[in-house]
Amino acid sequence: MEAQLLENCARNSRDKGEQMFEWLAENWWALWLTAFLMFAVVEMLTLDLMFIMLGGGALAGLAADFAGAELWLQIVAFCVVSLLMIGFVRPVALKHLRKGPLEQRSNIERLIGESALVMEAVSASGGLVKIGGDVWSARSETGVLAPGQRAVVSAIEGATAVVAADPPRLEQEQTTGER
Confidence grade of residue 42 (pLDDT, cut at 50, 70, 90): very high
Full-model pTM: 0.51
Which pLDDT does position 101 carry in this prediction? Answer: 64
Burial of 137 (0-12, 13-18, 19+ CB in 10 A): middle
Whether the CB-CB separation of 69 and 61 falls below 8 Å is answered with: no
CATH 2.40.50.140 fits 109-176, yes or no: yes
Q: What is the mean pLDDT of the chain?
A: 85
Distance CA 25, CA 93 (A): 36
For residue 166, give the nearest of 107, 136, 122, 135 by alpha carbon. Answer: 122
Residue extent(s) of CATH 2.40.50.140 domains in the chain: 109-176
How would residue 170 be classed by pLDDT, with cut points 50, 70 and 90?
Answer: very low
